[in-house]
């Protein structure tokens, strides 16, 4: 059994490899690398049966080079200080790569979600928010949480409501968290954002002729055999968009097990089967795998780990057959596994770039909350009027009237969700090109993960240089 490194150490090992290729002041690199602040606290919660339970919570702010800091809140019994520090660090680099103006942060509560009632979860969430507010670890210009593993729009609504009650008269209070329900200041497209961003990132890679030639694959997503580990929010939407683009889902995995079919699995049918039976196992036409982790070893072109960290390790990396490992989860590939995959000629599309769709759209929601105007509200009708005039001129010139449905589609103004998805697509496409340009400038010395870290380091270093630090 190979040595297992702690999660934060895994992140820093990747950072150190990339930093060694740069020429930045070592003192600056040390500042970028370390976690600036960690708040660990406990509080009592009254259970529905009248008993009292002590709950542990954390919030880590990795970097204050830009404020506010930004990062999710997860509810899991696996939450620890090491985990939130590692995830906060990844958020710092992720935000820098996609030019989201935040430092990285992360938080969590050490509970197993399904063991608590809705009322108990609300009490825990509100008390957690109170503790953050008391120590100035939450606020629109301070630190802005979002959903993560085990949390969603409901928890964000409770957090926003609690923060507002503690900040009477604060105009921008709703911007204290993102990922909220639409009626509470959320933004359309946020639920699908991380999965859609992963899809855009994979699409950019698959359209890169040079990379595809090196991997011995055809350009484009169509026909690619894909395995997705995890059918939560991210995994479901990645699977959906990949399948719609013509990819073949040859394997799916969840905590209860995994299934495979070289001829392909229909996502909607698998989801329906799981809803009806409580499991993805025994799906008609598919083979049940020995364990959930065996899905990582299926023969495929693209493996998408979309669950938790440390899934592809030095122990199972030799058995991974995929030519592309697309990291939809945070830290699913260990540093040791990275080395093995690289030696095998496989390509890892790193999490620091690939799953940045969530924070990108969270950024849009934060901006919406600060501006107090829904995206599209001011220009939608104006755009439609302009399009109608253009189409009218075309019809007048050609003497042919367009069918009403075609005219309606051509003259439709952009909705909030249209603009969000367009902004996300632009962000992921530009970030990929930036990382690839960085990689090419190092003449084969940097893989995509190192190039992503270098891209982030360079942008963060520029902030410190502009402030006159480390002359």
**CATH number for position 166:** 3.40.50.10860
Output the CA–CA distances (angstroms, integers) from residue 289 to 204, 281, 283, in the order listed: 31, 9, 11
pLDDT at 469: 75
Look at residue 404 and tell me if it is in a domain: no
Examine the domain organization and report whether 124 and 83 are in the same domain.
yes
Average pLDDT of span 56-80:
96
Q: How high does pLDDT run on average in the chain?
A: 92
Q: Which residues contact 303 (CB under 8 A, 6 or more apart)?
A: 226, 227, 229, 296, 312, 320, 322, 324, 325, 326
Residue 432 in domain = yes
Q: Are residues 224 and 316 in the same domain?
A: yes
> Which of 149, 164, 184 is the last residue before a domain boundary?
184
Domain carrying residue 151: 37-184
Greatest mean pLDDT among 94-108, 266-280, 400-414: 94-108
Residue 451 lies in a domain: yes
pLDDT at 431: 97
Domain boundary pick from 162, 184, 206:
184
Instruction: Tell me what pLDDT residue 4 has.
Output: 56
Instruction: Report d(CA 123, CA 125) in Å as an integer.
Output: 6
Q: Stretch 229-252: mean pLDDT, rounded?
A: 94
Residue 406 has pLDDT above 90, yes or no: no
On whether the CB atoms of residues 56 and 103 are closer than 8 A, the answer is no
Q: Is 196 a member of any domain? A: yes
Residue 406 domain-assigned (yes or no): no
List 39's β-bridge partners, or say none. Answer: 59
Indicate whether 38 pLDDT > 70: yes
The Cα 449–Cα 34 span in angstroms is 19
CA distance 267 to 128: 37
Q: Is the pLDDT of residue 168 over 90?
A: no
Place of tokens 């049918």: 269
Whether residue 160 sits in one domain with residue 141: yes
180 in any annotated domain: yes
> In the numeric block, which tokens belong to residue 387?
């399009």
Q: Give the catalytic positions in this structure.
A: 106
Residues 6+ apart with CB under 8 A from 283: 259, 265, 269, 270, 273
Domain annotation covers residue 128? yes
125 lies in the same domain as 209:
no
Spatial contact of 91 and 358, defined as CB atoms under 8 Å apart = no
Residue 1 — very low, low, confident or very high, per pLDDT cuts 50/70/90?
very low
Residues 175, 224: one domain?
no
CB 243 within 8 A of CB 221: no
SS3 58: strand
Whether 382 shows a pLDDT value over 80: the answer reads no
Q: Residue 232's pLDDT is what?
A: 87
> Given this model, what pLDDT does residue 173 score?
95
Q: What is the mean pLDDT of residues 326-346?
A: 89
Would you place residue 339 in the very low, low, confident or very high pLDDT band (cuts 50, 70, 90)?
Answer: confident
- Residue 5 has what pLDDT? 67
Report in angstroms the alpha-carbon separations of 167 from 170, 171, 248, 433: 6, 9, 50, 42
CATH number of the CATH domain containing 346: 3.40.50.720
Q: Evaluate whether residue 388 is within a structural domain.
A: no
Residue 81 has pLDDT above 70, yes or no: yes
Q: What is the pLDDT of residue 2?
A: 44
Structure tokens at 117: 């009632």
Radius of gyration of the chain (CA): 23
Name the residue among 221, 289, 288 with its Cα closest to residue 249: 221
Residues 136 and 84 in one domain: yes
- Measured CA to CA, the distance from residue 117 to residue 47 in angstroms comes to 9
**Per-residue pLDDT tens for 289-319?**
878 888 899 999 999 999 877 888 888 889 9
Mean pLDDT of 401-412: 83
Answer yes or no: do 100 and 196 share one domain.
no
> Quick check: 169 pLDDT over 50?
yes
Whether residue 159 is found in the same domain as residue 192:
no
Cα-based torsion angle of the residue sequence 406, 412, 417, 419 in order, rounded to the nearest 10 degrees: 120
Using the 3D structure, point to which of 184, 201, 234 is the last residue of a domain: 184
Residues 103 and 215 in one domain: no
Q: Mean pLDDT, to the nearest integer, of 125-137? A: 97
Residues in the chain, total = 471
124 in the same domain as 10: no
User: Mean pLDDT over residues 249-268, rounded?
Assistant: 92
Same structural domain, 450 and 344: yes
Alpha carbon separation from 337 to 30, 212, 242 (Å, rounded):
25, 22, 25
Q: Are residues 208 and 137 in the same domain?
A: no
Number of domains in the chain: 2
DSSP labels, 209-252: HHHHHHHT--SSSTT-EEEEE--SHHHHHHHHHHHHTT-EEEEE
């Amino acid at each position: 059994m190979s040595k297992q490194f702690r999660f934060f150490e895994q992140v820093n090992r990747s950072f150190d490899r990339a930093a060694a290729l740069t020429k930045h002041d070592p003192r600056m690199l040390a500042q970028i690398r370390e976690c600036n602040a960690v708040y660990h606290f406990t509080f009592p919660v009254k259970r529905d049966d009248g008993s009292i339970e002590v709950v542990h919570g954390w919030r880590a702010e990795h970097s204050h080079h830009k404020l506010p800091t930004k990062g999710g809140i997860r509810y899991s019994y696996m939450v620890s200080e090491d985990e939130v520090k590692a995830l906060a660090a990844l958020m710092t680099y992720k935000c820098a790569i996609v030019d989201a103006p935040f430092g990285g942060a992360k938080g969590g509560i050490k509970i197993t979600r399904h063991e608590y009632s809705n009322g108990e979860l609300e009490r825990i969430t509100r008390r957690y928010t109170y503790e953050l507010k008391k120590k100035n670890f939450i606020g629109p210009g301070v630190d802005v949480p979002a959903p993560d593993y085990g949390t969603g729009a409901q928890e964000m609504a409770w957090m926003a409501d609690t923060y507002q009650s503690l900040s009477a008269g604060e105009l921008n209070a709703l911007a204290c968290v993102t990922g909220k329900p639409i009626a509470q200041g959320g933004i359309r497209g946020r639920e699908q954002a991380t999965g859609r961003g992963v899809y855009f990132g994979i699409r950019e890679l698959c359209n890169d002729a040079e990379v595809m030639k090196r991997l011995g694959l055809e350009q484009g997503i169509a026909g690619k055999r894909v395995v997705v580990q995890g059918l939560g929010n991210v995994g479901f939407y990645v699977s959906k968009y990949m399948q719609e683009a013509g990819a073949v889902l040859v394997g799916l995995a969840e905590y209860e097990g995994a299934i495979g079919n070289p001829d392909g699995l229909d996502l909607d049918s698998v989801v329906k089967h799981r809803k009806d039976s409580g499991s993805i196992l025994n799906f008609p036409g598919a083979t049940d795998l020995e364990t959930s982790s065996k899905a990582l070893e299926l023969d495929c072109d693209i493996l998408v780990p979309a669950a938790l960290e440390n899934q592809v390790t030095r122990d199972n990396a030799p058995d991974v057959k995929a030519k592309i490992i697309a990291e939809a989860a945070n830290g699913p590939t260990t540093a040791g596994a990275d080395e093995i995959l690289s030696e095998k000629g496989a390509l890892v599309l790193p999490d620091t770039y690939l799953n940045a769709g969530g924070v990108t759209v969270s950024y849009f929601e934060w901006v919406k909350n600060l501006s107090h105007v829904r995206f599209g509200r001011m220009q939608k009708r104006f755009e439609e009027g302009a399009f109608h005039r253009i189409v009218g001129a075309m019809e007048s010139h050609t003497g042919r009237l367009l069918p009403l449905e075609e005219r309606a589609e051509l003259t439709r103004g952009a909705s909030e969700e249209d603009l969000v998805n367009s902004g996300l697509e632009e962000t992921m496409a530009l970030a990929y090109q930036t990382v690839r340009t960085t990689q090419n400038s190092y003449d084969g010395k940097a893989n995509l993960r190192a190039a992503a870290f270098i891209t982030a380091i360079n942008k963060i270093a520029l902030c410190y240089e502009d402030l006159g630090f480390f002359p």
